[in-house]
Amino acid sequence: MADKHPLSEREFWEIYRKVPRLTVEVIIHSEQGVLLTLRDIDPCKDMWHLPGGTVRFGEPLTEAVKRITKRELNIDVQDTKLLGYIEYPSHYENGLDSPVGIAFEVTKHVGKIKPNKEAKKYGWFKELPGSMHQEQKDFLAKTVFTDNSSD
């Protein structure tokens, strides 16, 4: 199935700059660290982040995780675990939008990770990079890292 967007980019931003936007955040971690991608598109170009994206109207959250992970990382999610939520006041304060991300850990997947064109590259991090949303850093420090979160 093609990844067809129900709204034009203009319509999307007209709406999502005015209302809270529900997203899913994808957390994959191993002994190598946590997987982050370096965005190659706006908003937030050149920032490291958790893979994720907008939940479509009527879409179950776990299906959104599967769809977004397949599109962004080219892997098939087989099992997830709900970890919590991330609010992004920095987005609102900077005039972007007002997302709330529901964070899921991918506990089982198949396929080799290969990010799509939205990412310049990806990496595994045991210490979080400076160029990253503070909200994601804080969340990962509470849920994934217990003794080595960075500022």
pLDDT for the residue 22? 92
CATH fold label, 14-143: Nucleoside Triphosphate Pyrophosphohydrolase (3.90.79)
So where are the chain's domains?
14-143
Where does the pLDDT of residue 1 fall: very low under 50, low under 70, confident under 90, or very high at 90 and above?
very low
> What pLDDT shows up at residue 53?
93
> pLDDT tens digit string along 4-18?
667 888 887 787 777
Q: With helix as H, strand as E and coil as C, how does the chain read?
A: CCCCCCCCHHHHHHHHCCCEEEEEEEECEECCEEEEEEECCCCCCCCEECCEEECCCCCCHHHHHHHHHHHHHCCEEEEEEEEEEEECHHHHHCCCCEEEEEEEEEEEEECCCCCCCCEEEEEEECCCCCCECHHHHHHHHHHCCCCCCCC
Residue 150 pLDDT? 46
Band (pLDDT 50/70/90 cuts) for residue 57 is confident
Quote the pLDDT of residue 138.
93
**Per-residue pLDDT tens digits for 80-108:** 999 999 998 777 777 777 788 999 999 99
30: Cβ–Cβ under 8 A, 6 or more apart, which residues? Answer: 124
